[in-house]
Amino acid sequence: GLRVPLPDGWKATAVGGDLHAGPQGRAVLKLEKTQRPLPTLEQLLAAVEGQGAVPQQKESISSFVGVRYSISVDGDDAGRRDAFLGVRQTGPRTIWCSTTASARRDEVEAAMTVCRSLSWEG
């Protein structure tokens, strides 16, 4: 199965076919298993920028592609928040990872680490 290494104090909960993770009582990361292939960094950047977001950090290796970005809240550039979208290919699965609107900056960083560290056992 899917191995999800969570930071101390985080919990994971199955919601439908997805997995939501975060500190007790808050979901800050959504993991979605798909059959879609690993996108290119350019495809992921286009998706993020198409939503009006500004990429802050990007990473692409053979089994992982991710973009950390900032996006305005309610169209207010002064109220920008950090977010993350990434995809990890592990074993037979492609896992899409995305932070939720409630994720704080340090939680976005932790979510990136979780997504990057996903593995498949069995």
Instruction: Return d(Cα 84, Cα 47) in angstroms, integer.
Output: 12
Least confident of 40-44, 46-50, 79-83: 79-83
- pLDDT at residue 6 in the model: 96
Contacts of 77 (CB under 8 A, 6+ apart): none
Predicted model pTM:
0.90
User: In 5-34, which positions are buried (b, 16+ CB within 10 angstroms) versus exposed (e)?
Assistant: ebeeebebeeeeeebbbbbeeebbbbbeee
Whole-angstrom CA distances from 112 to 3, 31, 40, 76 are: 15, 11, 17, 25
